[in-house]
Amino acid sequence: MTGRIFLKLITAATALLLLVAASVDFFTTEITRESYIDNLRQQLSEKARMLALSLPLDRESSPQLVRGLAEAAGGRVTLVATSGKVLADSDADAARMENHRSRPELIQAFHGKVGWSERLSATLGIPFLYVAVPVSGGAIRIAVPLSEINRQVHEIRFKILASTALAFLPALLLAALLARILSRRFTEITSYAAQLARGNFRARLKRPPSREFGMLAETLNDTAGNLQHTVEQLEREHAELEKLERVRKDFVINVSHELRTPLASIQGYTETLIDGAINDPAHNMRFLSIIRHNAERLARLTEDLLTLSRVEQKRQKFEFEMHFVNDLLRDALELVQPMAEKREVQLKLDPAPEDATVWCDSEAVSQVLSNLLDNAIKYTPAGGTITVGGSPQGQFMEIFVRDTGIGIPPEDVPRLFERFYRVDKARSRELGGTGLGLSIVKHLVAAHDGTTRVESRVNHGTTFFFTLPQDEPVAGHSLNPEFTAS
Ligand SMILES: Nc1ncnc2c1ncn2[C@@H]1O[C@H](COP(=O)(O)OP(=O)(O)OP(=O)(O)O)[C@@H](O)[C@H]1O
Ligand SMILES: [Mg+2]
């Protein structure tokens, strides 16, 4: 490709140079010849005038004298009478020469002007430049052969051609260099455009020093940048959609699975009872209590799913009010006190400043705290301690629930707030968990413009943190309009 472009450019440059050389040759030859003849005409007319002064125009003009004068003048000298009769000629026998009345240069001289003409001599048969000046009784004419003029013009022409050829060589080399640079640039740009056409938008063209190519490279690079940006954005959107679709499918699978287990259990034990076990006092009560346990589990599951969907779809009605933080914490501890006692876990309050308030829906915060405390109690062995407290963090109040329980492995932490995610499925189920508690926490906190995070060390304990605004938000500012579901 580079070779082809180079060949085209160099051919065009050579043709252009040849054309320039030919026209230089033509015009300079013409101009030189013209100015040379002009000059010569002037000189000859000067000489003729001089001769006219010194040479009387009569029949006695001896051929020797005319020849001597011709030699001194450097040309052929002819004396012609007004009648056209040649009186003397330095190069020919005047007596044998025809009447010169009709010679153009002499016609002009007989009219009192300096006459000249360029033509073939009828006497000598070679081309001459004739210049004639009037004298009394006729005219004096000096002629020089044109062959001499032509020789000199050719000499000058040869010199001009030689110097043109000399200049032609470096010009050709320069043209070759330029053609090489241009062909390379064209090839670079063409192959870059081909890369773009193949969809490789990451490649960038090096900016060449020349302005035009530089601007072209910049425009192409900008185009590639825009395309790359658009493609990346589309890829991101595509990945996001795929992720949402995966989440949706997982959710449907999880819900069906979570419902199927207790339903199958209820169905199985009911059939067993109907088939006669109802009359078996040794088992009937145990079977009924299993049925009740699974029914409760189903009720809790559907309740949690409904809450989650309401909050996610922003259909949950919140009643935001100012509340003292410590009141909320104390109420939450009171609610779980019986469960903590049963599990032999100690509950402690690390109070926030007494007058500290939060702008929240107390029902929602109570649910958040009870979910976190429920987990803390469930995953803390007997003898452990659970502490709740709060501390102001800028415009927010950060509330924490700390336990001295089993902890969470670091690899599980990032997925903890996903729906149905449980570190130990069997253990969670055994403890009556649905895996929706933390997901609900996250959404309820987000609806308050707050954030949720967790710190945990396996076998040492876990602390969950969440934030709530300390003050009512500025009017018109909706509470966390962009929180996302997971
Ligand atoms: N304080 C904690 N200590 C150790 N593990 C915890 C703690 N809190 C939560 N987890 C882990 O996170 C998982 C998810 O908790 P989440 O509250 O969402 O579900 P759950 O407690 O299993 O069920 P649910 O709360 O719906 O009854 C739990 O199954 C448990 O493995
Ligand atoms: Mg829970």
Query: What residue ranges do the domains of the chain occupy?
Result: 2-151, 200-313, 318-475
Residue 481: per-residue pLDDT: 45
User: Does the C-beta of 438 come closer than 6 Å to ligand 1?
Assistant: yes
Q: How far is the CA of 446 from the centre of ligand 2 (A)?
A: 18
Q: How far is the CA of 179 from the centre of ligand 2 (A)?
A: 76
Please say whether the beta carbons of 326 and 349 come within 8 A. Answer: yes
Cβ neighbours around 231 below 10 Å, total: 13
3-state secondary structure of 482: coil
pLDDT tens digits, residue range 18-28? Answer: 888 888 888 88
- Going by C-alpha positions, the residue among 388, 319, 380 that lies closest to residue 347 is 388
* Closest CA to ligand 1's atom 27: 433
Residue 475: per-residue pLDDT: 65
User: Does the C-beta of 379 come closer than 6 Å to ligand 1?
Assistant: yes
Residue type, 433: G
User: Six-digit token pair at 15?
Assistant: 């043709």
Alpha carbons 165 and 381: distance in angstroms, whole number? 104
Considering the entire predicted model, what is its pTM?
Answer: 0.56
- Parallel, antiparallel, or unpaired for β 396-403 and 357-360? unpaired
Residue ranges of alpha helices (H) inside 86-145 are 104-110
Cβ neighbours around 271 below 10 Å, total: 10
Q: Can you tell me which residue has the tokens 């040759």?
A: 25
Q: What angle do CA 386, 387, 393 make, to 5 degrees?
A: 145
Q: Can you tell me which residue has the tokens 């413009």?
A: 449
Q: Which fold has domain 2-151?
A: Beta-Lactamase (3.30.450)
Q: How far is the CA of 422 from the centre of ligand 1 (A)?
A: 6
138-145: strand order across its sheet: 86-89, 76-81, 138-145, 127-135, 115-120
User: Does the C-beta of 412 come closer than 6 Å to ligand 1?
Assistant: no
Chain centre to alpha carbon of residue 92? 88
User: Six-digit token pair at 297?
Assistant: 């589990």
Q: Can you tell me which residue has the tokens 């020849």?
A: 67
Ligand nearest to the backbone CA of 423:
1
Residue 60: per-residue pLDDT: 57
Q: Which fold has domain 200-313?
A: Helix Hairpins (1.10.287)
Q: What angle do CA 46, 50, 52 make, to 5 degrees?
A: 115
Cβ neighbours around 472 below 10 Å, total: 12
* Closest CA to ligand 1's atom 19: 435
- CATH assignment of 318-475, given 3.10.440.10, 3.90.1150.10, 3.40.50.800, 3.30.565.10? 3.30.565.10
Element (H, E) at 6: helix 2-54
Instruction: Name residues whose C-beta falls within 8 Å of residue 96's C-beta, 6 or more positions apart in sequence.
Output: none
Residue 87: per-residue pLDDT: 87
Alpha carbons 62 and 392: distance in angstroms, whole number? 139
Residue 401: per-residue pLDDT: 98
Alpha carbons 157 and 164: distance in angstroms, whole number? 10
User: Does the C-beta of 311 come closer than 6 Å to ligand 1?
Assistant: no
Q: How far is the CA of 260 from the centre of ligand 2 (A)?
A: 20
Residue stretches of the chain with pLDDT short of 70: 1, 56-61, 475-486
